[in-house]
Copies of this chain bind each other. A is one copy, B any other.
Amino acid sequence: MDIDVMENIFLLVLVTLFSVLQNAFIALKVEKECKKQDAAFERLSCAKRNCMDTYPTFLAVMWCAGICLSQAPAAFAGGVYLVTRQKYFVGYMGQTCQSTPGYLFGKRMLAFLFLMCLVGIVNYLLGQYSGSDYKEYVQTITKAASTLLLIP
């Protein structure tokens, strides 16, 4: 596609590529543990399932946020999410397979991306029906807000 489109998505593509690398890392890790078939394998396999269950949701929210509002904060939040996921996977020490906390790591990041989508849609509808366009204003606020995500 032409340069215009690339300009609006290349950060999102970059984060997507990192997430793919991470998926490969997770799969290789589980594969190495696979031959043992012990408790550690059970835990890893469970952690992998949790990561994979949230993966489409994460991709959908990040891309929507990046396209509807602005790409830099979306890609930033996506990157932070990937770091959280890495920490979650590497340090996974649950006793039994808890097939649920899939949304508990990185909840804040997903909520932020979700909000960005909402703001983008509201802003679009406002621009459509009242003629006012706060997009640049909103984008600045979003960029500032995205740094708040780093607060632990």
Contacts and interface: CB of A to CB of B under 8 A. Distances in A.
A20 interface: yes
A151 to B, nearest CB: 22
| Copies assembled | 3
Q: How large is the interface on A (under 10, 10 to 19, 20 to 34, 35 or more residues)?
A: 35 or more
Interface in A109-133: 110, 114, 117-118, 120-121, 124-125, 127-128
Interface stretch (A26-34, A84-92, A141-149): A26-34
A18 B49 CA distance: 23
A73 B61 CA distance: 22
A26 to B, nearest CB: 9
A139 to B, nearest CB: 12
A93 interface: no
A67 B117 contact: no
A20 B78 CA distance: 16
A14 B121 CA distance: 8
B53 A17 contact: no
B127 A61 contact: no
